[in-house]
Amino acid sequence: MAAVGHAGRSSSAGPGLDAPPAPRRGLDIRARETRAGYLFTLPSLLVLFLFVAGPALYAFYLSLFSWSLLNHMHFVGFANFVNLVHLPLFWTAVGNTVVFAAVVVPTQTLVALGIATVMNQNLPARGFFRLAFFFPAISSSAAISIIFMWIYNKFGILNSFLGGLHLYGPNWLANPAYALKAIMIMNIWTTSGYFMVVFLAGLQAVPRELYEAAAIDGASAWQTFRSVTVPLLRPTTFFIVVMGVIGTLQMFDQAFILSGGTGGPLHSTTTIVLLVYQFIFSYGKVGLGAATTVLLFVFTLLATIGINRWLGTATQY
């Protein structure tokens, strides 16, 4: 009986002492999904590090050295930054770049919004005109720059047209007063088509019910555009302005081709990125060029933060 009683106590206590805990299936599935997600994003993260974060960190590293690509690197600390801020050519390039961005970004944004508003209507051959406006955005920037060199020539198409109107056309690319303006016009023409497509996507996402409600309230077309369309396009406008500012601050190829790589005449088309190219490949000052890229990154970051404070907040209804 004692044996039976002991066996009974053992069998009754055994399950409570020896049974394993229930598996946490929900947590295991979530952990597996998290690991799978990291594995899927790993190639993109590697590309981002190799071609974006890695070169950026290496540029900051080079900015601390004096190097001409031919001699040995010498550590100079922040001397390149000190020399840069005391260099008049650097501030000339900063001024040209800021003026370029201040003119091009608002103009291309307004032009793109106007074209998108028209192209959003039920017009005949709407698809053809959309493609025609978008075509410069997908064309080679180098090819477009060469075409505009012919257009801006003293005896080119533009001055011939102005001559037909009995107007005198300047030598656009050889006159310091007009060279940067000529590049602005070309840049606006090439980028407005792309931003038009972005605005079109934003316009087509606006609920039709809001337009109908505005019409019932007796709002005019301008009142509807100002009070309904523009506020709802705020996220789209934020994206376009940020991308426009980043693009204009990094403008290089058009200034390089139209000025022949000199940034002339009289440095009137020298931008920050063109100055980086000249520092490294023309003057052999890699450290100064790298320091310029670091400062350009700071300028771009500050501009983006400012735009985010201005346009980043969504409109509440």
Ordered by where they begin, the domains of the chain are 21-62 (no CATH), 80-311 (1.10.3720.10)
The reported pLDDT for the residue numbered 314 is 60
Q: Which residues pair with 40 in a beta bridge?
A: none
Q: What are 207-247's pLDDT values in tens digits?
A: 989 989 999 989 898 999 999 999 999 999 999 999 999 99
Looking at this protein, which amino acid is placed at residue 179?
A
The reported pLDDT for the residue numbered 23 is 53
The reported pLDDT for the residue numbered 169 is 87
**DSSP letters along 198-235, please?**
HHHHHHHTS-HHHHHHHHHTT--HHHHIIIIIHHHTHH
190-to-102, 132, 150, 248 alpha-carbon distances in Å: 17, 11, 16, 12
For 276, phi and psi rounded to 5 degrees? -60, -45
**Tokens 């020399």 belong to residue:** 83
The reported pLDDT for the residue numbered 48 is 87
276/296 Cα distance (integer angstroms)? 10
CA end-to-end span of the chain, whole Å? 82
Closest CA to 173 of 165, 164, 182: 182
CA Rg, the chain, in Å? 30
The low-confidence residues of the chain, meaning pLDDT below 70, are: 1-27, 313-317
The reported pLDDT for the residue numbered 19 is 52
Q: Evaluate whether 67 touches 287 at the Cβ level (below 8 Å).
A: yes
Q: Evaluate whether 245 touches 307 at the Cβ level (below 8 Å).
A: yes
167/185 Cα distance (integer angstroms)? 19
Q: What are 271-294's pLDDT values in tens digits?
A: 999 999 999 999 999 999 999 999
The reported pLDDT for the residue numbered 85 is 93
**Tokens 């403008």 belong to residue:** 251
| Residue ranges in the chain assigned as alpha helix (H) | 2-18, 25-48, 54-62, 79-85, 88-119, 126-134, 141-152, 157-164, 179-204, 208-216, 221-224, 230-232, 234-249, 253-259, 272-277, 286-311
**DSSP letters along 141-203, please?**
HHHHHHHHHHHHSTTSHHHHHHHHTT-PPP-GGG-TTTHHHHHHHHHHHHHHHHHHHHHHHHH
Structure tokens at 173: 């690319």
